[in-house]
Amino acid sequence: MNASEYLPNDEVAIIGGGPAGMQTALALSERGFSVRIYEQKEQLGGHLKGWHHLFPHGVAASDLLGQLKEQVLARAVPLHLGQSVDRLQKVGAGWALWQGERPLGRAGVVVLANGFALFDARRKEEYGYGLYPSVLTAADLEAVFRKEQPWPFGSDRMAPQVGFVHCVGSRDLKCGSPHCSKLCCVTAVKQAMAVKSLFPEAQVYCFYMDLRMHGLEYEELYRKAQVDYGVRFIRGRLSEAAPGQGKRLHVKAEDTLQGRPLHLQLDMLVLMSGMVPAFLLEQQERAVFLKEPVFGSGFVPVQGLLAAGSVVQQEGLFASGACKGPATLPEVFADASAVAREVEQYLKSLKAVGHA
Amino acid sequence: MTPLLWKDYQKEVPDNHYFFVRSCIRQTFFPGAEAALLDILRNSLGLDVFEDRRHTTCTGIAYHCDLVPLETIMTVIARQLSLMTEAGYRHLLVSCVTSFGIYLEMLDMWQHHPEMLEQTREALWKSTRRSFELPVALVHTSDLVYHLRKPIADRSPHRLVDKSTQRALRVVDHVGCHYAKIFPAGGFGGAEFPSVLSGLAETFGGEMVDYPERRHCCGFGFRHYLLQENRGYSLSNSRIKFESMEAFAPDLILTNCPGCNMFLDRWQYTLAEMSGKTYDREGKGIPVLSHEELAALMLGRDPWTLGLQMHQVQLEPLLDKIGIAYQARQKYSMLAGAASLPGEPSVLKVSFQ
Amino acid sequence: MLGFMFALVVLLLRYLWWLRSLWRRPSSRLLSRMFSKHSLLAVREIFAEGLLHLRIYKRNRRLGFMHMSLALGWFMMIVGGKFETWFHSGQFLHGTWYAVFFRYFEPQTAGGWAGRFWLHYMDLGLLLVLTGLTLAIMKRIRKRILGIHSSTRHTLVNRVALTFLWMIFPLRLVAEALTFGQHGGGGFLTGSLGRCCFSSGMLAGLELPLWWAYSLSLGAFFVVLPFSRYLHIPTEMALIFLRHWGLRAAEDLQPEKALQAFEIHACSACGLCLDVCPAIKDHPFQSAYFLRALRSGKGWESLASTCLSCGACEEACPINLGLEKLRTAARGKIHEKHHAVYSYLPTVAPVETSRVDVLLFTGCMGRMKPATTKALKDLFEEAGLTWVHLDEQESICCGRPLALAGRASEAGALREFNRNLIQGQQARMLVTTCPICLKQFRDDYGLELPVYHHSEMLWYCLRAGRLKREKGTACFSYHDPCELGRKSACYQAPRELLQSCGTLLPLEREQADALCCGNSLGALSLSLSERQALTSRTLKVLEVPGAACVVTACPLCQHNLARQSRLPVRDLAEVLAVTGLPEQHGQRTAALAAVQEL
Amino acid sequence: MPKPDFGFAFAPNRALDLSAPLLPEVQVVLEAEPSIRACMACGQCAAVCTAGAFTPLAFYRLVLELRGGDVAAVGERARHCMLCGKCQMTCPRGVNIRNAVLLMAALAPPKP
């Protein structure tokens, strides 16, 4: 079948030009629908732009992004860059998209692919992010790997002491993120190994609650980090970071396996900031669900267990990728085609109604 | 998160006219300190500071050890205030951090429980036929010294700098818990931003060190110290502080609380005896000064008149660094001759000329 | 000539040094045996092994022949040479050189048929050596020709010695041939060669240089001998004597002292140990290399603690070197700072029990194999035996693992505990499911009651008719545990048991040649990946077509093989128990299916 | 001069200092048996340990405490091990526990 058989308002608007957005756009346009992408930034890529290399095989993030972009351009998907949709309005069977008071366009179907935001590590003040220059987030460290940001310690330090804190803003009811971000563990291991291979003399510690190495080859990566790279894993979270000697940080933690407090001086402290909804909760609740916000993790909820992406109680509104909760890239890509299939079915049903 | 505003951590300090109350511990262990303070305030800065020899202990230590009931201490505090009122002063200047905390506590209770204030007035009247007004300003001597740091610094011949190398001396401060933690708003910077001492040291050109256990208790803890069985706990707390500051090789520990001043000084000896360890490089210990002792030294007062020979950790190395002249022979001149020089510790290095 | 003298002196000095301790306190036993039939036995063994190399011959004819021809041939020439010179010169005593270069001094000898006999005899010797030499060279070029997979990699000094050795005999051949060519005469080999090739007068000038070359290579060989593996030639003989005189190797490592020294230097690096070693390809921990490391005193530690102590090399060694003992001694040396503290062991109160048939001891590893224990108890029931399970609650280690780590001296407390446990009971026998315990109980416990492995015990029941089995359809491949097979010489019992209820498939390597499961307690620092490689190699041997399941008789082997095996891995007892179900054929096969399912 | 008896003592600080460099003897152990690093403290070694039923011996804890620096205590506990190898049999990470224990036991001062 081709797109012309559908109702006039069968255009699909995809909000978000990250991996989820691009892949969903590809899947739909391959199915013969006219799709357009609204991306608030000036170019496509989302968080993938900021990554250096990807677990578990260390593929360069730029390569993957390059491939995706090429395909999107090849299919001539219309792009609305620099346009951030902050309000959706139900109009008949379809939707009107707004940026403030400015109408951005209309569409029969809207697919939310706005992904996730990284937890603002400043909310865990005790870890001193934003206070001490030697405290970074995982994303900052990727920027360092990409040479867009300098190392927080002097080039004279050949044997830096480096600490990674897992579950920062994940599994933390007080921060309103009760979920496990599920990528941080393996990311920490990946980054710890990267640091070790850049500074073989470095002492690298990972402070974890549980190591959740759910994916294929993640556990192997963990063992490699222990045996081949000598990364030390300490079960227990940091209590606080304070200024130490010179530029160093003085951090305290509990080694829960030994039941003893411990402290050490670090040249760099990396916080594994978890994944939180891209919209601020209030915005999302008001703009998308048209209701008053409740405090909680607030990822986009979908219909039942079987539905891949049709959003709860919202005709013609779908969600794809990490905006529904933490997801790895492979999961995002798989999800995209599943969502595309649902969108297609929805439009078919509209057509049937239209004929009847 | 409500933004931090610096002014929330500031304190109004009147410029003049104070009624001064002493500290039991300070005048016992560091007798020169309060004399020096009064001398500075009155003679160097020409302030009006009045002292009534009839004032007594605030009984704070006994109160914190549950030996003195609340009603009693309230009445004692009321009596001090009545002396202030009688002398016609409304600004109370307190030398002791424990007392300072006690005054704050009582005023706070009276504010929230007027009936208690009434009971106290009644109790005081019945027992002494005295009455009192509440102070307009409650100021700790460190507050005042901090407030006057500029004029003092201007008059000072010395600076907190190593004379030979021109290196700024490293200062670690310890602000008394009862100054900073019970009623943080009652002092400068509270516990979050302790500035009352660091500000002073920096004015004198010293370099502040923000060491990890900066806010940890010195270990006094009243009953923990007073009962020998618990004394080890007090000592352990001090040890945590010393171990934390050791790495930064400080030249000086600066305190504003007489109790802390004593423990951070004396426990260095005790720890040295017990563990054979000192927390400086030379094995002489880290010198400890209180805010008024520091001010007096900077203003060029004579160390021995100031009573620095009463310190366990000797001050000579610091004096030499700063380049303060002193008569080594005069150090124990008020003692009955060389016969009764103090005994030598077995670990901590001391020198008697 | 000088070379020979030099060698002699060095040898004597080294031997005296090794035996220094014995001079200090010569044991009467040694002396008494020295002048007795033992010396004659020694001579016989030297002849059988030193010259004929019978043991190597038994294992590998071609290789045996190679060694034999080299040794025997040379020996013939030395003895023959002596007699020949005696015969011709009429006097017995000469300088050694006279015999060696006899033909150079006396190209022409009369002496009728006897003289000719000696000529031919000497040529025969030479021929023998030369054949050996050819084989040796072939062995260097293509191992397979001599039916071996790996031959020892040699160090420089050994290569040098080897070259000289190889040069000696061709040179002698040519030299002699030339001499005869010039002066006529000579035996069937040298003489004829001389006549057809070297008769022309032009070559006369070559005679002297050739004899010199011969003499030089001979001398050179002797010079390097005491520092090369060829030291084994005299040392082996000395070792055999010392053994027969009742000298035993020490428990602790002393590579420069007494019998150990002789053992270490008696190794000819013949390479038989490499071939039987379960290690894939040649691994530095193999005995030939381990002994070399001991000789050089460098790098033996890692070799000692990676070896599995499976005992295959000791089994194969043609001169019966005590390789296992050497290894444990070496481990003991590495870990001499380790001191065990077992004061926490509870004291065993002697219990008054009614007399039972069997004391069952399942051991530490046995605790991880409840299926085996249960099956065995069922079989006891079936055989109508009464038993007490000694370590049902807690097993205290038998002490063998400590011994394998070279710390036997520390195991006293453990032995004491278990001995009390056992002796507190009244029973006819002690039965253990763990070959490791079996070996320890038998060798070091000195118990009054007999100790059996459960396979032996079950076999007795079978023969006594207490257990009845019908030959089923299932085919088994059986893995010989090192501790049960090579260490305790128990091969037959398990086989008979399996034959009784199914078919036992023949394997490429079994019994004394069986491979180790890869998880032996001997190996202390062998890495997981290396262990797993060994295991899969062993499994290749075991997973023969038609095998329903792999059967073994050691909890450690079973556990380790089962981790990697495609086939189910069972203990003998389990197999026997399920095959013992009621006789309806259907159920029997069902049960056997269960074995494979399990 | 004899030290005065104060009648009280300070409590030793229980905190571990991770910044402190590893003791050379600890380094030796870790290099001699690299598989120790693979331990993930699952506790199976301790669960199957016979000696552990009678003493505080638990291999995974020895690994944790080895780097702590109290090598004497680690060695003392390692000496309770019978080397039976049950733990090594069950260790999911293939640590050569018996060798590690032998090396650790050598850290304790020699027995009188």
Q: Smallest CA–CA separation between D3 and chain A, in Å?
A: 32
- Contact, C81 vs C176, CB < 8 A? no
Class of domain B15-141: mainly alpha
State whether C119 and C160 are in the same domain: yes
DSSP letter for each residue of D63-89: HHHHTTS-HHHHHHHHTT-----HHHH
Contact check, Cβ <8 Å, A263/D18: yes
Q: How many whole angstroms separate alpha carbon C124 and alpha carbon C77? A: 9
| C339: in domain | no
Q: What token pair was written down for A80?
A: 């609305």
Handedness of CA C68, C70, C74, C77 (dihedral sign): positive
Domains: count for chain C: 4
- Nearest-by-CA chain C residue for D112: C339
**Could you tell me if B273 lies within 8 Å of chain D, comparing CB atoms?**
yes
Q: What is the CATH number of the domain that holds C307?
A: 1.10.1060.10
State whether C478 and C452 are in the same domain: no
B231 vs C62: which has the higher pLDDT: B231
Instruction: Collect all residues with Cβ–Cβ distance below 8 Å to A215 and sequence separation of at least 6.
Output: A56, A186, A328
Contact check, Cβ <8 Å, D11/B236: yes
* Mutant choice from B172, B198, B209, B211 vs A, greatest count of A C-beta within 10 A: B211
* pLDDT computed for residue B247 by the predictor: 86
State whether C322 and C365 are in the same domain: no
Please give the average per-residue pLDDT across C117-136, as a whole number: 84
Contact check, Cβ <8 Å, B233/D4: no
* pLDDT computed for residue C280 by the predictor: 62
Torsion of CA A91, A95, A97, A102, to 10 degrees: -20
Instruction: Collect all residues with Cβ–Cβ distance below 8 Å to B23 and sequence separation of at least 6.
Output: B34, B94, B95, B96, B98, B99, B258
Segment C89-109, tens digit of pLDDT: 777 776 666 767 777 777 766
Q: How many other β-carbons are positioned within 10 Å of the β-carbon of residue C446? A: 9
Segment C264-306, tens digit of pLDDT: 888 888 888 888 888 866 678 888 889 988 888 888 998 999 9
Tell me which CATH homologous superfamily contains domain A3-115+278-355: FAD/NAD(P)-binding domain (3.50.50.60)
- Contact, A20 vs A332, CB < 8 A? yes
pLDDT exceeds cutoff 80 at D1: no
Which chain B positions have a beta carbon within 8 Å of A264's beta carbon? none
| D11: in domain | no
Q: CA angle, B322 as apex, B318 and B328 as ends, to 5°?
A: 60
Q: CA angle, C199 as apex, C106 and C213 as ends, to 5°?
A: 60
pLDDT exceeds cutoff 70 at A6: no
Instruction: Collect all residues with Cβ–Cβ distance below 8 Å to A231 and sequence separation of at least 6.
Output: A189, A192, A193, A196, A204, A205, A206, A225
Q: Which residue, among D93, A117, B153, has the nearest Cα to C529 in the 3D structure?
A: D93
Least confident among B167-171, C342-346, D79-83? C342-346
* pLDDT computed for residue A162 by the predictor: 97
Chains B and C touch (3+ CB pairs under 8 A): no
* pLDDT computed for residue A338 by the predictor: 94
Q: How many whole angstroms separate alpha carbon B56 and alpha carbon B59? A: 8
Question: Which residue range is the domain that position D78 belongs to?
Answer: 24-105
Segment B275-332, tens digit of pLDDT: 999 999 999 999 999 999 999 999 999 999 999 999 999 999 999 999 999 988 888 8
* pLDDT computed for residue B210 by the predictor: 86
pLDDT exceeds cutoff 90 at C44: no
State whether C110 and C169 are in the same domain: yes
**Could you tell me if B334 lies within 8 Å of chain A, comparing CB atoms?**
no
Residue located via tokens 């229980």: D14
Which regions of chain B carry the CATH code 3.40.50.11810? Answer: 157-340
Segment B248-265, tens digit of pLDDT: 999 999 999 999 999 999
Q: What is the CATH number of the domain that holds C571?
A: 3.40.50
Q: How many whole angstroms separate alpha carbon C287 and alpha carbon C268? A: 11
B247 vs B266: which has the higher pLDDT: B266
* Mutant choice from D1, D5, D10, D17 vs B, greatest count of B C-beta within 10 A: D10
Confidence band for C582, pLDDT divided at 50, 70 and 90:
very low
Least confident among A35-44, B185-194, D1-10? D1-10
Contact check, Cβ <8 Å, C401/D81: no
| C441: in domain | yes
Determine the CATH number of domain B157-340: 3.40.50.11810
* pLDDT computed for residue C95 by the predictor: 67
* pLDDT computed for residue C584 by the predictor: 46
Tell me what the pLDDT averaged over chain A comes to. 89
State whether C432 and C481 are in the same domain: no
Task: Report DSSP state, residue A291.
Answer: S
Q: What token pair was written down for C529?
A: 């990946």
Q: State the complex-level ipTM.
A: 0.79
| C342: in domain | no
**Could you tell me if B193 lies within 8 Å of chain A, comparing CB atoms?**
no
Q: Of A13-17, A312-316, B3-7, C120-124, which one has max mean pLDDT?
A: A13-17
C360 vs C350: which has the higher pLDDT: C360
Which chain D positions have a beta carbon within 8 Å of A261's beta carbon? 14-16
Contact check, Cβ <8 Å, D53/C394: yes
Confidence band for A30, pLDDT divided at 50, 70 and 90:
very high
pLDDT exceeds cutoff 50 at A5: no
Question: Which residue range is the domain that position C179 belongs to?
Answer: 2-231
Counting one residue from chain C and one from chain D, the pairs whose CB atoms sit within 8 A come to 97
| C102: in domain | yes
Confidence band for C449, pLDDT divided at 50, 70 and 90:
very high
DSSP letter for each residue of C300-325: HHHHHHH-----HHHHH-TT---HHH
Segment C5-30, tens digit of pLDDT: 676 777 777 777 777 666 555 566 66
State whether C257 and C145 are in the same domain: no
| C348: in domain | no
State whether C260 and C379 are in the same domain: no
Contact check, Cβ <8 Å, C524/D86: no
Classify residue C503 as left (phi > 0), alpha (psi -120 to 50) or beta: beta
* pLDDT computed for residue A20 by the predictor: 96
Helices C492-501 & C454-463 angle (0-180, nearest 10): 50
Of D35, D38, D64, the CB nearest to A258: D64
pLDDT more than 90, % of chain C:
37
Q: How many whole angstroms separate alpha carbon C240 and alpha carbon C46? A: 7
pLDDT exceeds cutoff 60 at A293: no
pLDDT exceeds cutoff 80 at A317: yes
Burial label, B3 (beta-carbon count in 10 A; 0-12, 13-18, 19+): exposed
* pLDDT computed for residue C272 by the predictor: 85
As beta bridge partners, residue A107 has: A95
One CATH from 3.40.50.720, 3.50.50.60, 3.40.630.30, 1.20.120.450 for A119-274? 3.50.50.60
Domain extents in chain A: 3-115+278-355, 119-274
Confidence band for A9, pLDDT divided at 50, 70 and 90:
low
Contact check, Cβ <8 Å, A244/B210: no
State whether C175 and C109 are in the same domain: yes
Q: Which residue, among B113, B116, B272, B104, has the nearest Cα to B183 in the 3D structure?
A: B104
Instruction: Collect all residues with Cβ–Cβ distance below 8 Å to B345 and sequence separation of at least 6.
Output: B269, B272, B273
- Enumerate chain D positions whose Cβ falls within 8 A of a Cβ in C: 32-33, 35, 48, 50-51, 53-55, 76, 79-86, 89-90, 93-94, 96, 98-99, 102-103, 105-106, 108, 110-111
Which chain B positions have a beta carbon within 8 Å of D20's beta carbon? none
Q: How many whole angstroms separate alpha carbon C393 and alpha carbon C361? A: 11
**Could you tell me if D61 lies within 8 Å of chain A, comparing CB atoms?**
yes
pLDDT exceeds cutoff 80 at B333: no
pLDDT exceeds cutoff 60 at A2: no
State whether C450 and C575 are in the same domain: no
pLDDT exceeds cutoff 70 at A313: yes
- Nearest-by-CA chain B residue for D11: B236
Segment C497-522, tens digit of pLDDT: 999 999 999 999 999 999 999 999 99
Q: What token pair was written down for C353?
A: 């029990």
Taking the alpha carbons at both ends of chain D, their separation in whole angstroms is 31
- Contact, B237 vs B218, CB < 8 A? yes
* pLDDT computed for residue A1 by the predictor: 39
Of D15, D37, D41, the CB nearest to A257: D41
| C484: in domain | yes
Query: Using DSSP, how many helices (H) and how many strands (E) does chain D show?
Result: 7, 1
pLDDT exceeds cutoff 60 at C340: yes
Please give the average per-residue pLDDT across D89-112, as a whole number: 91
**Could you tell me if B247 lies within 8 Å of chain D, comparing CB atoms?**
no
* pLDDT computed for residue A3 by the predictor: 40
* pLDDT computed for residue C426 by the predictor: 87
